Chains A and B, each alone.
Chain A
Amino acid sequence: MLSRTAANLYWIGRHMERAEFTTRLIEATIRLDSLLAQPKVEEAWKSALAVVGSAPDPSSEALGAFGGRRFLALSLDNPSSVKSCLSAARDNARAARNVLTQEIWEAINRAWLLIRDRASPGGTQSTLNMVEELKAETRGFEGALARMLRNEAYWFLRLGSLVERGDNTARLLDVKYFLLLPDGEQVGGLRDRDQWMTLLHVVSGRTAYRTIYRQALQPWLIADLLIFRKELPRSLAAAATETVAILAEFGDMSGLQGEADRLARRRLGRLEDGTIEELLAEGLHESLGRFMRENAALDAAIANQFRFA
């Protein structure tokens, strides 16, 4: 396979994953925002923007709910907006069209057509409708992916999704944890509970939490779920496990392994041996920061190993 084709597939995976993540973040923030008193609404959207790691022009101070929804969903100035991600994914898909299944191409194209001509997020309800449709299209993409032949094209698409997923989950947890527990205090009132539910919603983890822990929301258990529990597909451990497996498939085919394999295995080893207690003792923010740096190093190593750096 051409290195350029591999890069296009990898970036389709990353952009589609991020589009879905941002979509879910918008949905969860709208939910949170509806539970909050007016002055706190601004905070809810600010924290959502912090999660995607990009902020609008500081001169446009009062972002508010409408501006937040617009910036996250539709702004082309925001590389993490749903529209930016789908546009980039479609561009990559056009260039790699000859190695994509018809189904994958159609799923990406449909998602893009859905948002291409939207200039305004409309009212809250209108945004929620759009979010529902977008979620349906991204599920269509995941379904098409699941039906693909397990070959190089599939592996690159998956690798991109997994690297992106690891980054998104870590960032989400980092921002929310940091905001909610500024001084390491215990989780308290109703508002905190809402915040934590928001976080679980973004990673499709509400039912998972109840099933696994069978107790009231505890911040350290939520961190445990998102970091260590392989049962949750969006956890760091699940992403790390599958990344190692896919890189091993490449290795079996070519007989070669490289820096990416080594980094991925080392990361997985740490997640398998670690516990939430140790992690909290070390400092969650520091640990998540390290995870994100390692994830970025893995991304670079993959590009190097497959020669699309």
Chain B
Amino acid sequence: MAARPAFDELWGASAGEEVRAGFEPLGEWLRETSAAELDRRQHAAEAAFRSLGITFNVYGEDEAAERIIPFDIIPRILSAGEWARLSAGLEQRVHAINAFVDDVYGARKILADGVVPADIVLGNEQFCVPVAGARPPHGVYAHICGIDLVRTGPDEFYVLEDNARTPSGVSYMIENREAMLRLCPELFERLAVRPVDTYPELLRDTLQSVAPDGAVQPRCVLLTPGHYNSAFYEHSFLANNMGIELVEGRDLEVDDDIVWMRTIDGRVRVDVIYRRIDDAFIDPLVFRPDSMLGVSGLMAAYLAGNVTLVNAPGTGIADDKAIYSYMPDIVRYYTGEEPRLPNVETWRCREPASLQYTLDHLDELVVKLVDGSGGYGMLVGPTASRAEIEAFRAALIAQPQRYIAQPTLALSTIPTITDKGIVPRHVDFRPFVLTGSSGVTTVPGGLTRVALREGSLVVNSSQGGGTKDSFVLDGERAATAGST
């Protein structure tokens, strides 16, 4: 890995010699600010996150320890031009995702036309039989998508994953910016950065726009699994910032296919539910009967068109790793355009030739379970031990259809503060894309995740990753922007 120098988001390929055009103010700031001062601010940021209680629980650790995600104060920057190209690509992709979901639960044209094999969709665990034929308002299913992107060069962005179920992390996008505004205000004088705190308002507008027909002043709520959930901070942050109720399953009841919330003044009708509970748990009558988190009868109310669920049940079919490799074809099929954001090259191990290639190159590839997430159930060939590789080989041969393989990408790096000083660390990027009745929008920013261990490519917060603020420059407001 060390032999292949990765593209650096600040220094380009210059190996620390010359800052990329347009990003000079950040280079100057890093030069002018002493290491001790950077360190002081870094600690101040962590103290602020801790006292705000921005914590997450790591599954598998004792007592579900409340930890903060490490935050690094050196931001990632995207120029106005880079963002324009990215956001156009994101909007194209999310448009296609919604069209795809609408199609597979409706007319199934894409299957009939043989663009995606029918068995991969209809036989998929993520295909949600109960919602087939039920079309939500405006045909929108994936109202909120978090698209994971990686970068390998100046113009090489790839989609790594489409998160179309209940993507999390958007509260970090907003809180990271708050921390930066407080701790490094001078950066915002030197760089024209577009705001991200419009997100809660845009989200509330999105929720209201997809309410069932006839709902006057629709009542929206956020449904959380409760305060033991790892993302509870985010649930409560979003509910408060949107000014909507934060409810648990036991706060809701369904009566005659209508959803009600129990308040101290009696029952109040609910029109839109932004649910942060997985499909499998939302309604024990339809999905897992042992679920204590959901609401009995919720699916019946949804199918009757009396409540909108955000995201709709069944969107997992669009971000499934087995479907992923077909996404370029899916984008072409529904938009009639070439995909603006390419996929990472992917070998589907269900196909014998791809399986053979994968088995022959295990030490170079990243192998993923098609039904895994959070960085679990994954082999990173170049850094894996021989024993790990052999264990995966056996698993692959036993159940090849459960795996896909991708090349190890030289993910871009960003200078990051560590014990060893300021050093490059690999990053990815998750922007959040909203779809409402009037189309697709993306807040200019996102969550930059950084792999804090040297050489590591795993950025998941559950696996020791950290975060950074992501600056999108305003091309119109300042001369510093839009240089690429």
Contact = CB atoms under 8 A, between A and B. Distances in A.
Tell whether A and B belong to one assembly: yes
A97 B54 CA distance: 12
Contacts of A97: 53, 227, 236
Interface in B257-303: 261-266
B250 interface: yes
A4 B251 contact: yes
A254 interface: yes
A256 B266 CA distance: 11
Chain B contact residues, majority secondary structure: mixed
A220 interface: no
Interface in B219-240: 226-227, 236, 239-240
A291 interface: no
Contact of A254 (B239, B245, B261, B265): B265
B405 to A, nearest CB: 42
B248 interface: yes
Given A95-B226, A95-B227, A6 B246 contact: no
Nearest to B268: A2
B227 A2 contact: no
Contacts of B265: 254, 256
B227 A3 contact: no
B263 A3 contact: yes
Contacts of A94: 227
A159 B154 CA distance: 62
Given A94-B227, A95-B227, A2 B240 contact: no
A6 B227 contact: no
A212 to B, nearest CB: 38
A38 B180 CA distance: 64
A4 B248 contact: yes
A42 B262 CA distance: 49
Point out which of B226, B245, B264 has the most chain A C-beta atoms below 10 A from its C-beta.
Answer: B264
B327 interface: no
B266 A2 contact: no
B224 to A, nearest CB: 10
Interface residues of B, number: 18
Interface in A1-37: 1-4, 6
B365 interface: no
B236 A3 contact: no
A2 B247 CA distance: 8
A4 to B, nearest CB: 5
A95 B239 CA distance: 14
A307 interface: yes
Nearest to B240: A98
Contact of A98 (B236, B264, B266): B236
Contacts of A307: 262-264, 266
Nearest to A94: B227
A2 B239 contact: no
A254 B265 CA distance: 7
B243 to A, nearest CB: 11
Nearest to A96: B227
Given A95-B226, A95-B227, A98-B246, A2 B236 contact: no
A261 B227 CA distance: 33
Contacts of A256: 265
A6 B266 CA distance: 13
A4 B246 contact: no
A308 B264 CA distance: 8
Point out which of B226, B245, B246, B266 has the most chain A C-beta atoms below 10 A from its C-beta.
Answer: B246
Interface string A122-163: 000000000000000000000000000000100000000000
Interface in A93-138: 94-95, 97-98, 105
Contacts of B226: 95
A178 to B, nearest CB: 39
B239 A3 contact: no
Contacts of B246: 98
Contact of A4 (B53, B239, B250): B250
Contact of B263 (A2, A95, A98, A105): A2
Contacts of B240: 98
Contacts of A3: 251, 262-264
A97 B266 CA distance: 22
A79 to B, nearest CB: 21
Contacts of B227: 94-95, 97
B264 A6 contact: yes
B48 to A, nearest CB: 13
Interface in B196-230: 226-227
Contacts of B236: 97-98
B241 to A, nearest CB: 10
Smallest CB-CB A-B distances: 6 pairs: A306-B264, A98-B236, A3-B262, A94-B227, A95-B227, A6-B264
9 contacts: A2-B261, A3-B263, A94-B227, A95-B226, A97-B227, A97-B236, A105-B53, A307-B264, A308-B264
Interface of A: 1-4, 6, 94-95, 97-98, 105, 152, 254, 256, 306-308
Given A4-B251, A97-B236, 19 more contacts: A2-B245, A2-B251, A2-B263, A2-B264, A3-B262, A3-B263, A3-B264, A95-B226, A95-B227, A97-B227, A98-B236, A98-B246, A105-B53, A254-B264, A306-B264, A307-B263, A307-B264, A307-B266, A308-B264
